[in-house]
Every structure is written in C-alpha cells, then in structure tokens.
Amino acid sequence: MPGRYEWLIVLLVIILLFGAKRLPEVAKGLGKGIREFKKAKDEIDQEVDTAQKEIKEQVRDLDS
C-alpha cells in the first residue's frame, strides 16, 4: 500500500495533468469507476461461491 508521500506525489501529478479546476470532476469519475469495479468484483465472487456450492452438492450426491 502506498505511503503518505507516494499519495502526495500522485495527487500532485494529477493536479499537473488535469488542473485544479478539473480535479473534482476527475475525482468523481475515479470514485464512480472504483464503485463499479467493486460491484463487478462482488458479483463475480458471488457467482464463484454459488458454483462452488453446486459442485460440492454434486460431489456429495455422487458419493451417496
């Protein structure tokens, strides 16, 4: 995980690239992107868990 100074450098680079006026817009877009990524990750995790449960049930049925 980046430390305090690394985040400060990243913030300064973003300000230089986009300008202080566009910073809120960039931050909003970044936040939206992170939320969408997290939602997609959670959905994939749920699908994997469901598939694992189904496979375990099928293995139990075969063992019976």
d(C-alpha 57, C-alpha 53), whole Å? 6
- Evaluated on CA atoms 60, 61, 63, 64, the torsion sign reads positive
Which residues have C-beta within 8 Å of that of residue 26, sequence separation ≥ 6?
14, 18
Domain edges within the chain:
4-63
8 A C-beta contact, residue 57 and residue 49 = no
Give pTM, 2 decimals.
Answer: 0.62
Q: What is the pLDDT of residues 10-51, one digit of tens each?
A: 888 888 888 888 888 888 998 999 999 999 999 999 999 999
Which pairs count as long-range contacts for 22-27, CB under 8 Å and 24+ apart, including other chains?
A: none
Residue 64 has pLDDT above 90, yes or no: no
pLDDT band at 9 (very low <50, low <70, confident <90, very high): very high
Please give the pLDDT value at position 37: 97
Q: Please say if the pLDDT value at position 1 is more than 80.
A: no
